[in-house]
Structure 1
Amino acid sequence: MAKYAGISRRTLIYYDQIDLFKPAKIGENHYRYYGIDQYFELDVILLLKNIGMPLEEIQKFLKNRNVDYALTEFQAQRAKVDQQIDQLKEIRASLNSFIDRYERLKDFDLESITYAFREEESFVVSEIIDTIDDIDSVQVYGRFYSSVESRDLFSGYPIGFLVEGAAFNEENFHAAPYRALVKIPDDRLAHYRSSKIVTRPAGFYVSGFIKDEIHHINIFNNRFKKYLKEHNLVIDGDIWELLWQDEATSEQPEDQIFEVLIQVKQIV
């Protein structure tokens, strides 16, 4: 029977123990004996198992075999499979995003600054973090990340921070009040309150990468200011920081790599 079904002897014994598929009789020698007609019932079990039906549902199915019941159960199982397919598609999309992100990290240039058009993007944001108290900051982060659905939080797009554009002229905008942010696709915006959504408008942005932000922010800031002056540009929006290299690719905080984007306009 085990050879016929392509399963192990141990599996047959387990099916007997849970009253799913019992032998026709057990001999005085404690051997299990199966009848030829039991092949058909075992075929049903293997069929149902192959389409992903749990053993406890198979037990119920075997006791209610008719066309209407089978049709209902198969339709329900298909709905479960469709849901699993959707979940796998989400996982694949996240993996694609992570892979694209990490491939970009292999070619990033800490010295270059770019001026390019960026499409509009939407983000869900935290409350303002304006305290130097680490405990208070952690509490804000905790409230924020727990409010973001995992499919969005772990989408593969870098998390980031939003700082008012006026802070750029301060000596160290790293110390300015800021908000944490997570990118949200347009088809997911309805899952969040409008008050928690901010949009980075389409437009021209100056951007560059920075490593170990805390220790190099001033040098980076001066490079940005020099670039703006040389190209007759002025700030025309807020500061967007995206964390491209995070703890998933390095255990050292100083290895973090941010992309800083600032919307600008030409001086007339």
Structure 2
Amino acid sequence: MEKQLLTTGEFAKLCGTQKGTLLFYDKEGLLKPKHVSENGYRYYDIDQYFEFDLLSMLKEVGSSLKEIKTHLRHMDGEGFMSFLEEKQVVAKRELNRLRQRALMLGDMAECLREALNFDYDVLVVEQQEEERLEVTPTGVTPSESRWEFILRFAEYNDVYKQQEQKPRFPFGFILGLDDVRRGSHLERYSFHRARRTTPRSRLHVKPEGKCATLAHKGTDETHRQALVGMLEKIDSAGMAIKSDIYVYDMMSYVIKETGDSYAVKYCALVE
């Protein structure tokens, strides 16, 4: 005769789970053994495997204990269909978050790899590809404090959190060339990689062409000196600057050596 009743251990092995899990399900009223002997031994009917399988599926799609109890006790085709459709929406949203997380991790690794291997304070002139950026006016003023800067940056990130999107590398700012030549280093625009949904009014295309690049690690004062020195080197080489200054973040909060030191990469189109 085929065996119909299984001990807790046998049923756990059949289901690929632990005895403790079955005891928890019993306690919560989710899956009770078919028979309990006078001496307290629990026995499961072999057909309860399908109940366990449904329970596992409900857990896998992110159901709460309350939801699982409701569906196991009051199984209804139409209601269960609505439940599955809701979970499908949630799963797609979670899949999108995971996809964005994977992209973000890849971007961060690429940025940090460059930051760790860059030859700092060396002017490099090379051909670069076109870059599509989403730009946002910063609204920065000469009197802005560090606190105001952080608040503004947090508000900027909140916009994307509400849209369930994560801005992607590269991140940075645009300095007006004329401003820099006058000794001002106000960040007129912030930028990150353009999205498919980037409004046309905020899309900025940094064209393909020859670019002069210099990376520097240091304080605000040494950065100002490094940028001025970069412009002087470009001028002395007989090149003309044909764009504003793009300032790329290099994850300086990871590689910084002191509290007031940071690293960025300055880039300008030249000919």
Normalising to structure 1: TM-score of the pair?
0.77
The residue that corresponds to 2:158 in the other structure is 146
| Percent of aligned pairs sharing the same letter | 19
Unaligned runs of 5+ in 2: 1-10
Residue 218 of structure 1 deviates from its aligned partner by 4.4
Equivalent residue runs for 1:62-101 within 5 Å: 62-65=72-75, 73-74=83-84, 76-101=86-111
Equivalent residue runs for 1:1-268 within 5 Å: 1-50=11-60, 53-65=63-75, 73-74=83-84, 76-110=86-120, 111-125=122-136, 126-149=138-161, 151-153=165-167, 155=168, 157-171=169-183, 173=184, 176-179=185-188, 181-190=190-199, 194=201, 197=202, 199-204=204-209, 205-250=211-256, 252-253=258-259, 255-264=261-270, 266=271
User: How has the CA–CA distance of structure 1 residues 97 and 139 changed in structure 2, closer, same or farther, with 3 Å as cutoff?
Assistant: closer
Q: In structure 2, the residue corresponding to 1:186 is in which secondary structure? A: coil
Q: In structure 2, the residue corresponding to 1:144 is in which secondary structure? A: helix
For residues 142 and 249 of structure 1, the distance between their equivalents in structure 2, rounded to whole angstroms, comes to 22
Q: Is the 8 A contact 1:129 1:140 kept in 2?
A: no
For residues 76 and 60 of structure 2, the distance between their equivalents in structure 1, rounded to whole angstroms, comes to 19
Aligned length: 256
Residue 177 of structure 1 deviates from its aligned partner by 2.4
AA aligned to 2:262 is Q
Unaligned runs of 5+ in 1: none
Residue 3 of structure 1 deviates from its aligned partner by 2.9
Per-residue Cα deviation, 1:162-220 (whole angstroms, up to 9, x for no partner): 2211122134x4xx322462314231314xx94xx362531543221111152323442
AA aligned to 2:182 is E
For residues 139 and 251 of structure 2, the distance between their equivalents in structure 1, rounded to whole angstroms, comes to 24
For residues 221 and 35 of structure 1, the distance between their equivalents in structure 2, rounded to whole angstroms, comes to 77
Per-residue Cα deviation, 1:43-64 (whole angstroms, up to 9, x for no partner): 3323444555444333333345
Normalising to structure 2: TM-score of the pair?
0.77
Moved over 6 A (4+): none
Per-residue Cα deviation, 1:121-172 (whole angstroms, up to 9, x for no partner): 222322223215334334433433333437434x3x143222211122134x
Question: RMSD across aligned C-alpha pairs, in angstroms?
Answer: 3.2
For residues 213 and 115 of structure 1, the distance between their equivalents in structure 2, rounded to whole angstroms, comes to 27
